[in-house]
Amino acid sequence: MRLLVALSGGVDSSVAAAELRRAGHEVEAVTMRLWGGPSDTGCCSVADVEDARRVAAQLGLEHHVFDFSERFDRTVVDPYVADHAAGRTPNPCVECNRHLKFDALLDRADVLGFDAVATGHHARIVQHGGRARVARGADRDKDQSYVLHPLHDAALRRVVFPVGDLTKSQVRDRARDLGLRTADKPDSQDVCFVTASEGRAAFLGARTPLHAAEVVDTEGRVVGRTDAVELVTVGQRRGLALAGGPDRRYVVDVDVAARRVVVGPPERLRRELVALEGVGWNGDVPSGTVHVQTSAHGPAEAAVVESADPGSDAAVLRWVTPRARVAPGQSVVVYDGDVVLGGGVARR
């Protein structure tokens, strides 16, 4: 096969490229230039691009750099800012995978005559119900199936995940055996376009107005203030400097328009249902009990699909055991065991 491997400058994509080359495929490497601003983590920094270039040279691969920065701004950064301004909790990694790695990059690979695109994601592709589907990777602690949930059958037939059957320690061992410069490079953390020195507040504050807000309890009594209601998320406990009381209090609602945050005891977060928008199913709407994950490495909890119109991007899930409310904007991913069936975004 003629494969285009997305080389991010990390150890996983480095080993993915090496494994494909070892298997005898015709491999070329590409690094996507996504974020034009400062970056000190993730796959967007100047150092990461240089690491990718050197790994490609070490493996004897032709190396390309594709500039997708305008599309990244439009489909990832701008919605990230808009979501915070509306009081939602976005997941930019999901949107980057949806719009860049497995849309723009796949389209470019098709134009250039490649058979498939490969990445270093810790996930697998399996046949399930007659369709290609994303499944959890062998290393559950590093599994990335959650952020890959928008990938459906047509795209998955043109994608390869060479390290999905390896644990992270096995990946690093193979990188060391090959003498790759990325073998002991730390994993990327957090949002790649928000620097540790700048922080989320400064990043957002430079792009959208941030507003102070009252923090009230469930009886409407003022118990504190926050400098930026746009930075508060449902379920948050720390960082609000609440006055008085030893009991644990969590954010149970965020109303940006009213400049108000409501806090209460954990039981006030309990919900039987979660309503979704932007839903995509890789196949038919599932019936019976499924398992649902609401964060990248959180537990998968039992639920049933209460309602879903195959012609609509909306759905309602009912938890088998009521659980804490999902923050609006957060990705909600539906599994059958280890296999992703689809997912959407929690709505208010």
Phi and psi torsions of 124, nearest 5°: -125, 160
Q: Which of 43, 44, 93, 192 is catalytic?
A: 192
| Residue type for position 324 | A
192 is an active site residue? yes
In the chain, which ranges are E strands? 2-6, 26-33, 63-67, 116-118, 123-128, 131-136, 159-160, 213-217, 222-226, 250-255, 260-264, 270-281, 289-293, 301-308, 315-324, 331-336, 339-346
Q: Which of 43, 44, 93, 96 is catalytic?
A: 96
96 is an active site residue? yes
> Residue 168 class from Cβ within 10 Å (0-12 exposed, 13-18 middle, 19+ buried)?
middle
Which one, of 126, 140, 139, lies nearest residue 170 by Cα?
A: 139
Alpha carbon distance 124, 147 (integer Å)? 13
Give whole-number Cα distances, 343 to 142, 227, 275, 312, in Å: 20, 33, 11, 13
Contact 315, 260 (CB under 8 A): no
Alpha carbon distance 343, 337 (integer Å)? 14
Q: Which positions are annotated as active-site residues?
A: 96, 192
